[in-house]
Amino acid sequence: MHEVHVCGLKPATTYYYQVGGGATGHEIWSATQSFTTLPSSGAIKVGVMGDARDTVTTWALVNQRMLMSGVSSILFSGDVIDIGTDESEYSQWLNAIWETGVDGGAEGSPGGFGTLGQLMFLPIAGNHENEAVQFYSNFAIPGDGPYAKAFSSFNVGSAHVIMIDDQPIGTQPGGTETMAQLAWLEQDLAAANADRTNHPFIIAVSHRGLFSTSLHSTDGDVLQTRASLAPLYDKYKVDLVFNGHDHEYERSKPVNAATPPSNPPIVVSGSTHGTTYVICAGAGADPYQVGAGMPPYRAAYTQFGSGTPYIGVYGFLTIDATSLTYAAYGLKGAGGADDMIDTFTLSN
């Protein structure tokens, strides 16, 4: 496997490339691919999805929706595949999103490419990646140092985006990597909160659903992750958090963590800042049941799977100078027009 860093690119510019090599006179080259860099300002549309690990055809359809919508990049909240050490699963799942495009064209034909190789795909590991070398080898993820690719941050338009692998945080509290992650996170959040003039919004992406009502809502590793991350999000006024892990769609009202954080969150209003938590995890994973009733902190939810019109869920986040607007969709399949199942706007 190879990783190439291409620096000095201009915003909102399309670049063309080929991959290949070999002995002189016997080189083998791919078809010409292209990608377009993110704009530096204006409205920027970003795809959001997570948990693809069970059904490769659903994963391919969600990626087709991303390509058709014209997103500039994709944020993925973990669990691309089921067994993190199985390279054959990565081969199958990644082949499914590059060999043909939305027009069904043949490999290498105009319009025949999928999202892979065209759109910037920014994943963070989930529990099924299990810190395996195969995950880190298959994806070029920002970050450096001894725990490279386990956490990183970058700016997209008016938003500062943080991505953190919560596997160590949830399963190894007090461990060396966990402490390094949390120290980095606090430093990065403090700097981002001080930079609101330039980047008024802070967005975080990690795997475990911090405020879920579904299957994993009371798991020990989830509660440990919540206890570690949510108070920091409150302290530095994070605006929006995207999670996965529970295969559903669920959104909270603006909330703060309770004391202790294992208790249900506190809904805030007025001048008190709250964080909105979104679980959007249906890019191929088998569906889970959403918790019954309507907890005071939950603003919206949708199940997919048997008994529903949907085989998955995904969303689009539009970032502009003064707002974040998110729209979530229920995936109906290859032939159906998808339904918008939720939308909201956060303003600065």
Q: Read off the pLDDT of residues 193-216 as tens digits, 9 standing for 90 and up.
A: 999 999 999 999 999 999 999 999
CA 93/CA 137 separation, integer angstroms: 15
pLDDT, residue 304, reads: 96
Give one DSSP letter per residue of 221-240, joined into a string.
Answer: HHHHHHHHHHHHHHHTT--E
Q: Report which DSSP code applies to 101.
A: -
Q: Give the pLDDT confidence score for residue 160 in this predicted structure.
A: 98
The pLDDT score that the predictor gives to residue 335 is 74
Q: Which residues of the chain have pLDDT under 70?
A: 99-112
For 43-347, CATH gives 3.60.21.10
Question: Which of 239, 255, 243, 241 has its CA nearest to residue 214?
Answer: 243
> Which residue type is seen at 237?
K
Measured between alpha carbons, how far is 239 from 254 in angstroms, rounded to an integer?
A: 9
Nearest-CA neighbor of 288 among 14, 44, 53? 53
- CA 234 centroid distance within chain: 21
Rounded-to-integer distance, Cα 66 and Cα 47, Å: 6
- Rounded to a whole number of angstroms, the distance between the first and last alpha carbons of the chain is 43
SS3 180: helix
DSSP designation for 331: E
How far apart, in whole angstroms, are the C-alpha atoms of residue 141 and residue 136? 8
Amino acid at site 13:
T
**Burial of 114 from C-beta contacts in 10 A (0-12 / 13-18 / 19+):** buried
* 135 close to 89: Cβ distance less than 8 angstroms: no
Q: Which of 317, 282, 314 is nearest to 71 (CA)?
A: 317
